[in-house]
């Protein structure tokens, strides 16, 4: 059996536990030093279950990437409130917080390592493409809600959504791969300024 494609019903409890074990092993060892054996060390059940569900390490990691992406994006989408512009500002702060919690920082580093495999691996590329498109769609939906409510100026919402997604992706990549926290802070504030610039000016009383 292979776990290269997610099931329509979502992961089983065993698959979820495998994903959690994979995350812990990936954070500890990194992509280059990761192996099925090291994942099995973090998994409470039989190692044979890993091979029952996944054909290889890369097959497992591709499934983990899809699982992690769905988890992160579901959290972002669930946080959207009634005010679409406030939701967009909150999304920026969630993706690029001033001081990310340890587990969030580990998660971003792990996803960044896997994202880099998409340069040569088609399964990883497909999942990264899906992540970017889903985030663009979410941002576009919030901008559309804001436009319908008369909160933003008449603008190219497609281009605006792509700009927000690409800027967030660049900021998260930089935070995970460099020791320049000031860069992430500058990107966060520039995105807040960009979103504010889309808004219709408030009328003077």
Sign of the C-alpha dihedral computed for residues 186, 188, 189 and 191 taken in this order: positive
Burial letters 5-18, b for 16+ CB under 10 A, else e: eeeeeebeeebebb
The pLDDT of residue 4:
39
* In a domain? residue 119: yes
Domain hosting residue 34, numbered range: 1-67
The pLDDT of residue 204:
53
- Evaluate if residue 105 carries a pLDDT over 80: no
Give the pLDDT band of residue 168 (cuts 50, 70, 90): very high
Q: What is the pTM of this model?
A: 0.81
Cα separation, 95 vs 175, whole angstroms:
11
Highest mean pLDDT among 64-78, 113-127, 152-166: 152-166
Cα separation, 4 vs 190, whole angstroms:
38
Residues 118 and 198 in one domain: yes
pLDDT in tens, 4-26: 344 445 678 888 899 999 999 99
The pLDDT of residue 5:
41
Cα separation, 179 vs 176, whole angstroms:
8
Instruction: Identify the DSSP state of 6.
Output: -
Among 67, 88, 107, the domain boundary falls at 67
Which carries the bigger pLDDT value, residue 77 or residue 150?
150
The pLDDT of residue 8:
42
Give the pLDDT band of residue 1 (cuts 50, 70, 90): very low
The pLDDT of residue 203:
66
* In a domain? residue 136: yes
Residues 159 and 106 in one domain: yes
Number of compact structural domains in the chain? 2
Residues 120 and 204 in one domain: yes
Burial letters 150-162, b for 16+ CB under 10 A, else e: eebeeeebeebbe
* In a domain? residue 73: no
47 contact partners, CB below 8 Å, separation of at least 6: 36, 37, 40
The pLDDT of residue 108:
81
């Amino acid at each position: 059996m292979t776990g290269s494609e997610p099931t329509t019903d979502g992961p089983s409890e065993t698959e979820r536990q495998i994903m959690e074990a994979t995350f812990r092993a990936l954070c500890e060892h990194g992509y280059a030093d990761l192996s099925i054996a090291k994942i099995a060390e973090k998994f409470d059940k039989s190692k044979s279950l890993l091979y029952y569900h996944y054909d290889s390490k890369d097959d497992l990691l591709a499934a983990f990437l899809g699982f992690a992406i769905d988890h992160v994006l579901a959290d972002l989408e669930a946080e959207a409130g009634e005010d679409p512009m406030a939701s967009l500002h909150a999304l920026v702060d969630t993706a690029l917080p001033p001081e990310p919690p340890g587990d969030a920082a580990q998660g971003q580093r792990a996803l960044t390592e896997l994202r880099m495999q998409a340069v040569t691996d088609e399964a990883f590329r497909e999942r990264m493409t899906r992540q970017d498109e889903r985030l663009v769609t979410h941002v576009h939906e919030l901008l559309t809600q804001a436009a319908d409510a008369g909160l933003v100026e008449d603008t190219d919402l497609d281009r605006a959504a792509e700009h927000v997604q690409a800027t967030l992706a660049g900021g998260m990549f930089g935070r995970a791969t460099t020791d320049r926290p000031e860069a992430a802070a500058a990107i966060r504030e520039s995105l807040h300024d960009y979103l504010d610039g889309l808004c219709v000016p408030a009328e003077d009383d």
